[in-house]
Structure 1
Amino acid sequence: MTAPQSATTQNTRLGVWLMIATTVVFAAQDGISRHLATDYSVMMVVMIRFWVFGLFAITLAAVSTGGLRAAAKSHTPWVQLVRGVILVAEICVMVVGFVKLGLIEAHAVFTSYPLLIAALSGPILGEKVGWRRWTAIAVGFVGVLIILQPGIAVFSPWALVPLLAALMFAVYGLLTRYVARKDSAPVSFFWTGVVGAIAMTPFGLANWTWMTPTDWAWMSTLCCTAVLGHWLLIRAYAVAEASAIQPFAYLQLVFASSIGLFVFGEVLRINVAIGAGIVVAAGVFTLWRQRVREKAAERAQ
């Protein structure tokens, strides 16, 4: 699913717009998840979502070159299994954060995940993290502390939920980079959908509750946004370099916060806005430094 280098260069603008569209869809998905998880089990909601995601992954693999056999053939099956379980668990944790904290504050804390990826890339992947990125990581976590300001309502045990989700997502991202050394993107995508669906089924069925017709409509919309969002993300990475478009993923914070403000009546407190701004700036810097290192490595070859 990776485009040739020339195509990547020519379609960076398209990749940016596809990433922006992805963040809009994922923000809508978060809003619907918060709505449904307020009245129904988080595990059931995530299970149904992954049933559709898994079916989409299987269908996509079936019509691709090599079919299901090629998509399921992994050189690192145990790592694929672990990353799939971590992702679905992270989504459950994050949806709990949406319900307990709201979209704005949950996303403000969650935006620290690129910093966690940078910090953990050394011990997990053996990558070198220079002093510039370590400085950015430290500054970013000052922003997290500003968000989790003591004495304010957001500073509670629930405030640690999106931080845990960010840590889990960071580990998932690093494991994705690890398996990418041997497995193709379609293989990882297939394992993500199928493992997530299988892992959530016993927990979701144990917490099954019939939804109202209106909420089934919302659930169907949630499943459609999950499929559409992942399809847009695949297309974005297919036409542009990840390092060029990844910073635009931060726009999900803007769109999700807008939904929180205008749909759920949440309040954007000044410390959350300032802290989130610091975290995003630090995260964008780490992504930029990563791109600089990748370009330098390419020139050295």
Structure 2
Amino acid sequence: MSLKTRGYLFAFLAICIFASQDAITKYLGDRYPALFITMIRFWAFALFVFAFAASSPKGIRGSVQTRHPWLQLVRGLLLVAEIVVIVFSYVHAGLAMSQSIFQATPLIITILSIPLLGEVVGWRRGTAVLVGLVGVLVIINPVDVHFDISLLLPLVASVLFALYSIATRAVSREDSAVTSLFYAGVVGAIAISLIGPFYWSEVVPSDWIALAALCVCGTLSHYFLIRAYGLLPAAEVQPVTYFQLVLNVMFAVLLFGEAITYNMIVGALIVVGAGLFTIWREHQLAKRS
């Protein structure tokens, strides 16, 4: 098996596990507070990053060293806030709707990279962003009399994750990927542990299996994604991640009885198409430079 084939296999495994993780999160989110679920998830994530950092060449001591301590702290807070919001979104807006809107994240990253990173966005990517935002409006359908304010939750989660990604780009210029992963997990775990215990809930014995599965999925998905990025360029991994939308829609319909509307399908296709073009264009510009 070639290295590229292995990279795609790792990416595919990561996406399948991420989709399973979302379905489990939706199941638990309907039964327990979002902050409680996120806290348990981050405890497992923190254990994973500690083990990953300890096995790295520089060890934990080297992983802690950063040239951007404040920005790394902000990254951890942004990630944990995004996960809390997306759990609320799965409960109130639905899994399929939330994931359809969340696909706009690469477009929002492109927009925010202009003022925050000083990047230049040409007319092609600018047009793709505008088309993608139109797709988001098609999904949300704000002119419908049944428009629900909860549909803004996945959009907020998308903006938070875009800010997290922008911050990750900024620190990656001088900090290693292991350092960034370490701070995301540890800072997030500490932050949610200051609030989460106030929302502690009694868990039905059978649901501890779901919580354990959520923790295992969170660990394996990040591990496989790290392996994928180690074997493939980001531009080749990103298109594979859109398969998660297909899996999430399947889980939403089959497991939770959610309804899929035509505006969701059309809007999601527009958003994904615009996102794929933006990723491809960034890859072409990077190759030229």
Q: Which residue of 2 aligns with 1:246?
A: 238
| Structure 2 Cα separation of the partners of residues 137 and 266 of structure 1 | 28
Counterpart mapping for 1:73-92 below 5 A: 73-92=65-84
Instruction: Report the alpha carbon displacement of residue 12 of structure 1 after superposing the two structures with TM.
Output: 2.7
Task: Confirm whether residue 51 of structure 1 aligns to residue 43 of structure 2.
Answer: yes
Q: Which amino acid aligns with 1:227?
A: T
Question: Alignment partner for residue 110 of structure 2, among 118, 128, 142?
Answer: 118
Larger mean CA deviation between 235-244 and 278-287 belongs to: 235-244
| Structure 1 Cα separation of the partners of residues 224 and 124 of structure 2 | 32
> What's the C-alpha RMSD, in Å, of the aligned pairs?
1.1
Question: Alignment partner for residue 16 of structure 2, among 24, 28, 31?
Answer: 24
Structure 2: tracts of 5 or more residues without a match: none
Question: Alignment partner for residue 262 of structure 1, among 243, 246, 254?
Answer: 254
Instruction: Report the alpha carbon displacement of residue 151 of structure 1 after superposing the two structures with TM.
Output: 4.9
Q: Which residue of 1 aligns with 2:32?
A: 40
Q: Which residue of 2 aligns with 1:176?
A: 168
Instruction: Report the alpha carbon displacement of residue 156 of structure 1 after superposing the two structures with TM.
Output: 1.4
Task: Confirm whether residue 106 of structure 1 aligns to residue 98 of structure 2.
Answer: yes
| Structure 2 Cα separation of the partners of residues 150 and 78 of structure 1 | 38
Q: Which amino acid aligns with 2:172?
A: A
| Structure 1 Cα separation of the partners of residues 145 and 102 of structure 2 | 17
Structure 1: tracts of 5 or more residues without a match: 1-9
| Structure 1 Cα separation of the partners of residues 147 and 100 of structure 2 | 13
Instruction: Report the alpha carbon displacement of residue 155 of structure 1 after superposing the two structures with TM.
Output: 2.5
With over 3 angstroms needed to count, the CA separation of the structure-2 counterparts of 1:153 and 1:33, relative to structure 1, is farther
Q: Which amino acid aligns with 1:246?
A: Q
Deviation string, structure 1 residues 178-235 (Cα, Å, up to 9, x no partner): 0000000000011111011001002110100120111111000000000000000100
Q: Which residue of 2 aligns with 1:229?
A: 221
Q: Which residue of 2 aligns with 1:64?
A: 56
Instruction: Report the alpha carbon displacement of residue 67 of structure 1 after superposing the two structures with TM.
Output: 1.4
- Contact 1:101 1:154 (8 Å CA) reproduced: no
SS in 1 for 2:57: coil
Question: Alignment partner for residue 139 of structure 1, among 119, 131, 135?
Answer: 131
- Contact 1:29 1:225 (8 Å CA) reproduced: yes
| Structure 1 Cα separation of the partners of residues 9 and 239 of structure 2 | 12
Q: How many residues align?
A: 288
- Contact 1:19 1:233 (8 Å CA) reproduced: yes
SS in 2 for 1:39: coil
Counterpart mapping for 1:141-180 below 5 A: 141-152=133-144, 155-180=147-172
Larger mean CA deviation between 59-68 and 31-40 belongs to: 59-68
| Structure 1 Cα separation of the partners of residues 142 and 161 of structure 2 | 25
| Structure 2 Cα separation of the partners of residues 228 and 152 of structure 1 | 40
SS in 2 for 1:195: helix
Q: Which amino acid aligns with 1:215?
A: D
- Contact 2:93 2:153 (8 Å CA) reproduced: no
Q: Which amino acid aligns with 2:286?
A: E
Normalising by structure 1, what TM-score?
0.93
Calculate percent identity across the aligned residue pairs.
43
- Contact 1:149 1:155 (8 Å CA) reproduced: yes
Instruction: Report the alpha carbon displacement of residue 240 of structure 1 after superposing the two structures with TM.
Output: 0.8
Q: Which amino acid aligns with 2:86?
A: M
| Structure 1 Cα separation of the partners of residues 157 and 279 of structure 2 | 20
Q: Which residue of 2 aligns with 1:128?
A: 120
Q: Which runs of 4+ in 1 moved over 2 A?
A: 10-14, 150-155
